[in-house]
Amino acid sequence: MTQHLAKIALTDMQAELRDQAMRFCADKSPIAKVRSLLTDDHGFDAAVWAEMAALGWLGIAIPEDYEGLGLELADLVPVVEAMGKHLMHSPFVSTTLAAQAILAGGSDAQTALWLPKLASGTVATVALFEPTGAWDLNAVEGQTKTFVMDLDASELIVTTVKFEGQTRLALIPRDRITARRETIIDEMKRSYTFEVPDVTESDLMPAKDAVTALERIELVANLLQAAELSGAAMACIDYTVDYLKTRKQFGKVIGAFQALKHPTVDAFVDAEGARSLLYAAATHCEKQGEGEIAVRMANAKAEGALSFAADRSIQFHGGFGFTYDCDAQLYRRKAMFAASQFGDAAFHRARLAELLL
Amino acid sequence: MTQHLAKIALTDMQAELRDQAMRFCADKSPIAKVRSLLTDDHGFDAAVWAEMAALGWLGIAIPEDYEGLGLELADLVPVVEAMGKHLMHSPFVSTTLAAQAILAGGSDAQTALWLPKLASGTVATVALFEPTGAWDLNAVEGQTKTFVMDLDASELIVTTVKFEGQTRLALIPRDRITARRETIIDEMKRSYTFEVPDVTESDLMPAKDAVTALERIELVANLLQAAELSGAAMACIDYTVDYLKTRKQFGKVIGAFQALKHPTVDAFVDAEGARSLLYAAATHCEKQGEGEIAVRMANAKAEGALSFAADRSIQFHGGFGFTYDCDAQLYRRKAMFAASQFGDAAFHRARLAELLL
Amino acid sequence: MISVEEFAKQADAWFAEHTPREVPFMMPLTFMEVGTDEQFDFLRDWQNKVHAAGFLGAHWPEAYGGGGLTQAHQDVATRAMRKNGAPIMLNAIGIGWAGPLILDTGSEDEKRRYLPGILSADDIWCQGFSEPDNGSDLGNAQLKAVKDGDEYVLNGSKIWTTQGNYAKYMILLARTNMDAPNKYAGLSFFLSPMRIPGVETTKIRKLTGEFGFTQTFFTDARISADCLMGEEGEGWKVAMRTLEYERGARKGEAGGYTISQTNPLEVVDLAKRAIRNGKPALEDPVMRDRLVTQMIEAQAMMANRERAKIAPLVSENPFALPVLSKLQFTEYARVTGELALELEGAQSGYYVGERASREDGYWQRSYLNAFSATIGGGTSQIQRNIIGERVLGLPKTK
Amino acid sequence: MISVEEFAKQADAWFAEHTPREVPFMMPLTFMEVGTDEQFDFLRDWQNKVHAAGFLGAHWPEAYGGGGLTQAHQDVATRAMRKNGAPIMLNAIGIGWAGPLILDTGSEDEKRRYLPGILSADDIWCQGFSEPDNGSDLGNAQLKAVKDGDEYVLNGSKIWTTQGNYAKYMILLARTNMDAPNKYAGLSFFLSPMRIPGVETTKIRKLTGEFGFTQTFFTDARISADCLMGEEGEGWKVAMRTLEYERGARKGEAGGYTISQTNPLEVVDLAKRAIRNGKPALEDPVMRDRLVTQMIEAQAMMANRERAKIAPLVSENPFALPVLSKLQFTEYARVTGELALELEGAQSGYYVGERASREDGYWQRSYLNAFSATIGGGTSQIQRNIIGERVLGLPKTK
């Protein structure tokens, strides 16, 4: 029934991108850099962003007609996985979501205007959530948007609006918006809230494509979140294992205690499964209907894997785990925040039940 | 909100009954006896049953007017807990449920006829479940009853029937019934199926009390099931701990391995909680509305505790755990069967959600 | 002497009148959560006021700042605090650890010198048992105390010193003999001053982002030999005795409470208000199932406390319930925190300080803070060893 | 030589035609579940038939009863078996353990004597590694083999001998030297006859109530010194080599499969039919949530198998996925069994043999049988040690 969705195809390009991204992120995002960016206004290094743009990463899933590389969604996965693994934040995901929204639902003029810019490094974001807490992207009720990532660094905001009773997508330049930064649990990220200004038809994407565009955003967001969380889960386990191999208590390296060893193994087994589901999701994400199944499975599993791994990492680091200096909290907070965006694991399971049963 | 339901009152009588029952069951139900009864037709020793009757146990919750001891439901709990702890099966619970049903819903004549008999050791049972699998005792649809415990040893069957469109309770003597023994997962128990014969008004308890009587049966059944499972959980843990203290592997007593020690501790913590909830339920079970809350909590917790303890007991006994000779399977099967009767833990939680939230 | 009943009435009336309401900051629920000067100053004033009113140390002798009444008097005063939802007592180590120890085994001079300041909160005490390299293994403490004439010279470091930056004194476990027959025999116990040359504290930032602990560094710090409590080499014994006051196994605490009893069912209140995916969280059957699971667990903990009082129901193992309660409660709190995040849905992404968050990020912070209890005071893993070995009689894990 | 493609076609056609349907008993899914003579006789006939048709041991030399073809030929035949849902091959220890070992390292005489009977299932083999007191610790085997002239005298006992009561031969790990420098060096490996004086087997009843294993007792049993495989003291090495054939780390299996691959998603079919509390189980959102959790886990296992084939995606640790699969799959099966019981509601109370039960108690039995895999072949606890130590590099638990 779902067996064929477990097949994984990895192109040479994806393998290459993966190597490149892992090297790049390891190089540009050592933990000291991650920590120094926690208090940075934008939470990322503009110079590194420029390098990513130069590598062509922003154009990966944008067609060549719009100066992108014309690759596939699947090719974004190894890049975001590497970012997750090295806790590297940038507006990569925000910008990608905006670009995919425009690609799926923009008018010819909007597409022609914005995609080349986004492919070359102009920062953009999406504004989809409201204080109602609904994860259903069609449920647009008011003017207030929340959890708008990287807004302050963006030139363009793709936002949902209620227009003449219909849910539509609008393209709003940054300078038409007054935003307030929100305090969120993941301190590596930057989130904002703003009031959607009055829009006219010229701000809007064509009405007929709104549903498609929203579905596209949700699919891509969940796929990339799975990639980020899956990468982070492996890193979190490596970080924990390193500690378990060196820390001594009662005259013994603590990793020899089964009370710590076995749950760490369980976390590892979970994380390996998450990675496999991630690459299966990358392989099948473009399939009508089934793509959603593969992607939600990967995201639910990855969220669970990182949550468990990081929760145990805090615990197994003992007193140090309770400090801000221990990286376990960075991983745990990342999982907590991800769960709040686009639905948590229980939400994905409920959707999967509808799709599968 | 539910804090006051955690208060426990134990009367001197209950403490005494507990001592008496623990001694009696330990004496009459050593494991060799339990095992020999697995292949017995009735699954219990009639001589031991006569002794229980002589001790007055069958009359505990029957008023003195009907030759009972006139004690309370709470006083049944330590007795059934002891039976659970020593894996002693008898028609004690079946007979008690029948007696409580008659007490709650029988006519004066029925009460006067049957309660003195049941108080003195006449075996009876209740027939409540149908092949539909519904746990709702009011949902009577057909003539076939299943999971009728101890029927073959009973003189009287209290059964639900659909009579003129209404759910009623009928008192049917054994000789009007043809029964087939069912193969159930708990081999210590005896279960039967039969077709309810045509009944007349004279077989029935008064219509007005049917709902009350069914509620009473459900409450008592869940309370006594909690007692049985809670007693069994402690015994299962003792059994496991004994093995962990003596079995050696890799030159070490295996209980020293945290992989076995820590889950056993978790099972113990669960089982202790189940016992406390059991005695809280005994204390409050007669309270309108709240009694159901206390009883369902105790039953849900006890089922979970025994299931987990026995599952781990099989596993931690290694190869021996996989054999029929290891008692872990007796405990695991007991939990499995209990879950199938009157609702499993998830069912109780769903009901509790309605009552509490 | 005033009757206990009368004293109880007075206490109740006093706390009803004086308990502060509507404080402009998050009130710490435990003494370990005091992270800002604002919180510290407020709670120090409050303890001072409670003491001045006679409701702290009511049973300690008047000569040492107490009220000269009985334990029963203090107990009713403590109950009045709880009943009125009063803030916690700040000087936890003084009230619960150092104070009772000094009262029990100290010299007359030590009692007069130390006890009044403990009650008034003028002299804050901290605890120096844990070390960075020996978090779970107290007996392995390595901070050195070398005798030099009338003084000891201290070198080393202590960690998880709650209020170390505010403290005037520390109860200190230090190694005076490197050649002792076993690690315990080399330890001694000191009442050590904190504001002397060679003692420095660094604040430790918690995973919540807040402060509350310090690390204390000793570099050739010299303290008077008088600071020794008990004999040299008896440090482990004195430390274990001290822990018993805190655990209530010995009487002597100055009263009041330093950890506000949280209601394990408070998550139900959250559930009733929480919005998940745009709908009331309680409309979701999966959330209901998980919530009821936690409610049953909470009820089991409360019932355990009740059963512990009934001898015939704990006769098989009278110590089991007290010994397992720490593991059970702290893990319950952690799991409940996780559930709360799920109940909050999208709102769980906010954090303390965000006006759009529910109750200023209370549950997010609460989940993260829960680790202080699953780690501190013996990790959950160590608790399972203790229960397995001491209660179930399983062989020691080496 | 016939082409692989042609051979595949022939095999497919043969199994399509000959695979037995509608058998009047529960078909064993693994060779360990063969519990009745009826099952045994049926499966022995079936293996004999498959071998005679040329689809078992196709790649073994003709001189030893094989087909003289290549591994690729046997692989397509095995695939054809699976595709057609054919019953398992009965003589599992012979096919997967003893056979490859003898083919690989045996003498010409041994090959001629043993191999044909393995393929035809005329000679059933069993395995004698585990002992009652050393379930998890094979290296500690204590069964004694004392040399006496041209014979060894065996005393001791082996346990979990699948089909021990049917077997003609046993591969046996025995202790020939009590004074060896370490426990491993004292072991030797034998191809031991079973039907000789002094060897007795007792059936072991499984927790399901069924049979399938035996315990084998050796009392002054004498076997020819020729039965020794390899040199004295090399027993551990030979045993480890044998395990590698079974785990597929070395090629050589005679083909076919001895454990029918169960579909991890079969629980979904149950869920679609199950009635819980009088309603379709799938109407219950809590059951749906748990079922989807298991479906995701099943999907993760399948995806792991796929990813294992893609080098760049396992480069960090190429052995991780194969090593963890046993733990993951066996625990999945156990948890799925538990879920199935919940899905079945009241019906979960019935058991095998009850006509009112769903599928003759398949899931109740399946849950109980799941422990054979979480215990046998290295318990889940030992698997976690192995993964922790060999894959994650954590220190050994002693």
Q: Are C127 and C196 in contact (CB under 8 A)?
A: no
Cβ-Cβ contacts under 8 Å for B139 (sequence gap 6 or more): B130, B132, D278
Question: What's residue C289's pLDDT?
Answer: 98
Which residues on adjacent β-strands are paired with residue C217?
C157, C200
Pairing assessment for the beta strands B166-173 and C187-193 based on DSSP bridges: unpaired
* Mean pLDDT, residues B174-182: 97
- Is it the case that residue D82 has pLDDT exceeding 90? no
**Cα–Cα distance for residue pair B126/B151, rounded to 1 Å:** 8
Across chain D, which distance is largest between two alpha carbons, in Å? 73
- Mean pLDDT confidence for B7-22: 96
Percent of chain C with pLDDT over 70: 97
Residue of D nearest to B335 (CA): D349
**How many residue pairs from chains A and D have C-beta atoms closer than 8 A?**
142
**D185/D232 Cα distance (integer angstroms):** 9
Q: Would you call D347 and B328 a contact, using CB atoms and an 8 Å cutoff?
A: no
Nearest to B127 by CA among B90, B152, B104: B152
- Residues in chain B with CB shorter than 8 Å from the CB of C282 are 357
For D210-228, what is the mean pLDDT?
A: 94
Q: How many CB atoms lie within 10 A of CB A143?
A: 14
Where are the domains positioned within chain D?
Answer: 1-258, 264-391
The catalytically annotated residue of D110, D131, D232, D246 is D246
- Closest-CA residue to D301 (of C330, B95, A214, A276): A276
Residue range C245-296, pLDDT digits in tens: 766 656 667 777 777 666 778 899 999 999 999 999 999 999 999 999 999 9
The C-alpha of B28 sits at a distance from chain C's nearest C-alpha, in angstroms, of 20
Q: Can D344 be counted among the known catalytic residues?
A: no
CATH number, position A288: 1.20.140.10
pLDDT digits 0-9 by tens, B129-153? 999 999 999 999 999 999 999 999 9
Q: Which residue has the tokens 């505010």?
A: C166
Using an 8 Å Cβ cutoff, are A316 and A341 in contact?
A: no
Which tokens hold the place of D339? 């879920």
| Lowest mean pLDDT, pick from A14-23, B197-206, D124-133 | D124-133
Q: How confident is the model at residue D263 (pLDDT cuts 50, 70, 90)?
A: confident
- φ, ψ for residue D342, nearest 5 deg: -65, -40
User: What whole-number distance in Å separates Cα of residue D158 and Cα of residue D173?
Assistant: 9
Structure token digits, residue D238: 């030979």
Residues of chain D with pLDDT > 70, as a percent, come to: 97
- Alpha-carbon distance of D52 to D50, in angstroms, equals 5
* Residue A201 predicted with pLDDT over 70: yes
- Compute and round to an integer the Cα radius of gyration of chain C: 22
CA gyration radius, chain B: 20
Residue C176 has pLDDT above 90, yes or no: yes
pLDDT of residue D350: 98
Q: How far is CA C84 from CA B4, C18, C254, C267, in A?
A: 19, 10, 19, 21
According to the model, what pLDDT value does residue B1 have? Answer: 59
- Residue of D293, D347, D351, D380 to mutate, interface with B, max B Cβ within 10 Å: D351
Q: How many CB pairs under 8 A join A and C?
A: 141
Strand partners, C127: C171
Phi, psi of A197 (to 5 degrees): -75, 165
What integer is the mean pLDDT of D78-83? 89
Is A6 in a helix, a strand, or coil? helix
Long-range Cβ contacts of C338-341 (<8 Å, 24+ apart): C338/A307, C338/A311, C338/C367, C339/C267, C339/C287, C339/C290, C339/C291, C339/C294, C340/C267, C340/C270, C340/C366, C340/C367, C341/A336, C341/A339, C341/C367
Res. D249: pLDDT tops 60: no
pLDDT at B334: 98
> Which amino acid type is present at position B186?
D
Q: Please enumerate in sequence order all residues whose Cβ is within 8 A of that of B145, keeping only pairs 6 or more positions apart, or say none.
A: B127, B128, B129, B130, B159, B160, B193, B194, B195, B196
* b/e burial code for range B17-38 (CB count within 10 A of at least 16 → b): bbeebbebbeebbeeeebbebe
CA dist D121 to B75, D51, D125, Å? Answer: 63, 9, 9
Of A279, A301, A357, nearest to D288 by CB-CB distance is A357
pLDDT of B249: 87
Neighbours of B173 (CB within 10 A): 11
What range does the domain containing A333 cover?
A: 211-356
Q: What does the DSSP 8-state code read for residue B243?
A: H
- DSSP annotation of D259: B
Joined tokens for residue D80: 């054809």
Residue D26 has pLDDT above 90, yes or no: no
Residue C345 in this model has a pLDDT that exceeds 80? yes
pLDDT in tens, B317-354: 999 999 999 999 999 999 999 999 999 999 999 999 99
What token pair was written down for A271? 């994380």
Q: Can you give the pLDDT at residue C251?
A: 65
**What value does the mean pLDDT take over residues B180-194?**
98
Q: Is residue A292 part of a domain?
A: yes
- Work out the average pLDDT over A88-113: 98
> What is chain C's length?
398
The pLDDT score that the predictor gives to residue B237 is 98
8 Å CB contact of C350 and A319: no
Residues of D in contact with C292 (CB under 8 A): none
Q: Is the model more confident about B3 or about D273?
A: D273
* C28-75 pLDDT tens trace: 878 888 888 999 999 999 999 999 999 999 999 999 999 999 999 998
Bridge pairing between strands C169-175 and C125-128: parallel
DSSP 8-state class, residue A212: H
The answer to whether D164 and D222 are in contact (CB under 8 A) is: no
Q: How do beta strands D169-175 and D125-128 pair?
A: parallel
Average pLDDT, chain A: 97
Pick the CATH number of D264-391 from 2.40.30.20, 1.20.140.10, 3.30.420.140, 1.10.1040.10: 1.20.140.10
Q: Which residues of B touch C297 (CB under 8 A)?
A: 273
Best residue in A190, A322, A325, A354 for a mutation probing chain C (most C CBs within 10 Å): A322
Instruction: Kindly name the residue from C33, C131, C232, C246 that is annotated as catalytic.
Output: C246
Chain A positions in Cβ-Cβ contact with residue C397 (cut-off 8 Å): 257
- Residues 26-55 of chain B with CB under 8 A from chain D are none
Q: Which amino acid is at C82?
A: R
Neighbours of B261 (CB within 10 A): 27
- Of B183-197, C85-99, D176-190, where does the model show the most confidence? B183-197
User: pLDDT for D293-339, tens place per residue?
Assistant: 999 999 999 999 999 999 999 988 888 999 999 999 999 999 999 99
Q: How many domains does chain B have?
A: 1
CB contact under 8 A, A332 and C379: no
pLDDT(A327) > 70: yes
Cα angle D32, D38, D40 (rounded to 5 degrees) comes to 40
H or E stretch including D280?
strand D279-280
Residue of chain A whose Cα is closest to the Cα of C358: A131
Residue C249 has what pLDDT? 56
Same fold, C1-258 and C264-391: no
User: DSSP letters along C300-339, please?
Assistant: HHHHHHHHTT-GGGSTT-TTHHHHHHHHHHHHHHHHHHHH
- Give the pLDDT mean for B77-85: 98
C352-365 per-position pLDDT tens digit: 999 999 988 999 99
Query: CA nearest C378 in A: which residue?
Result: A318
pLDDT at C296: 97
Which residue from C202, D382, D280, D303 is spatially nearest to A7, judged by alpha carbons? D303
Asked if A133 and C278 count as a contact pair (C-beta separation under 8 A), the reply is: yes
Query: Looking at the DSSP assignment, which residues form a beta bridge with residue C240?
Result: none
pLDDT of residue D262: 67
Q: Are C270 and C94 in contact (CB under 8 A)?
A: no
Alpha-carbon distance of D346 to D337, in angstroms, equals: 15
Taking the C-alpha atoms of residue C222 and residue C193, their distance in angstroms, rounded to an integer, is: 10
What CATH number does the domain located at C1-258 have? 2.40.110.10
pLDDT score for C250: 64
Helices B345-356 and C285-307, interaxial angle, to 10°? 90
In the chain, the amino acid numbered C160 is W
Which stretches does DSSP call E strand in C163-239?
A: 169-175, 187-193, 199-204, 213-224, 228-229
As a whole number of angstroms, the distance between CA A302 and CA A77 comes to 13
For residue C274, how many other CB atoms are within 10 A of its CB? 24
| DSSP secondary structure letters along B1-14 | --GGGG-----HHH
Neighbours of D28 (CB within 10 A): 23
CA–CA separation, A154 vs C158, rounded Å? 47
CB C321 within 8 A of CB B272: yes
Instruction: Tell me: pLDDT of A202 over 60.
Output: yes
The answer to whether position A268 is within a domain reads: yes
Please give the average per-residue pLDDT across B294-303, as a whole number: 98
Find, among B80, B94, B101, the residue nearest to B125 by Cα.
Answer: B94
Q: Which of residues 178-207 of A touch C (CB under 8 A)?
A: 182-187, 191, 193
Query: Closest partner residue to C299 among B2, B253, B257, by Cβ?
Result: B2
Confidence of residue D261 (pLDDT cuts 50, 70, 90): low
Residue C394: pLDDT above 60?
yes
For residue A284, being part of any structural domain is answered with: yes
Classify residue B71 by its DSSP letter: -
Tell me the C-alpha distance between C327 and B269, whole Å: 9
Closest Cα in chain B, distance from residue C388 (Å)? 6
Amino acid making up residue C221: A
Residue B262 sits at the chain A interface (C-beta within 8 Å): yes
- Evaluated on CA atoms A213, A216, A222, A228, the torsion sign reads negative
Q: Do C384 and B258 touch (CB under 8 A)?
A: yes
Q: What is the pLDDT of residue D29?
A: 79
Cα separation of C288 and B289, whole Å?
A: 20
Is A350 part of a structural domain of the chain?
A: yes
> CA A217, CA A197: separation in Å to the nearest integer?
22
| pLDDT tens column, B220-262 | 999 999 999 999 999 999 999 999 999 998 889 999 999 999 9
Tell me the average pLDDT across A302-310. Answer: 98
Tell whether B133 lies on the interface with D, counting CB pairs under 8 A: yes
User: For C133-165, how does the pLDDT look when each residue is reduced to its tens digit (9 = 90+)?
Assistant: 876 778 889 999 999 999 999 999 999 898 999
Coil/strand/helix, residue B194: strand
Whether pTM exceeds 0.80: yes
For D352-374, how does the pLDDT look when each residue is reduced to its tens digit (9 = 90+)? Answer: 999 999 988 989 999 999 999 99
Nearest residue to A326 via CA among A308, A307, A310: A310
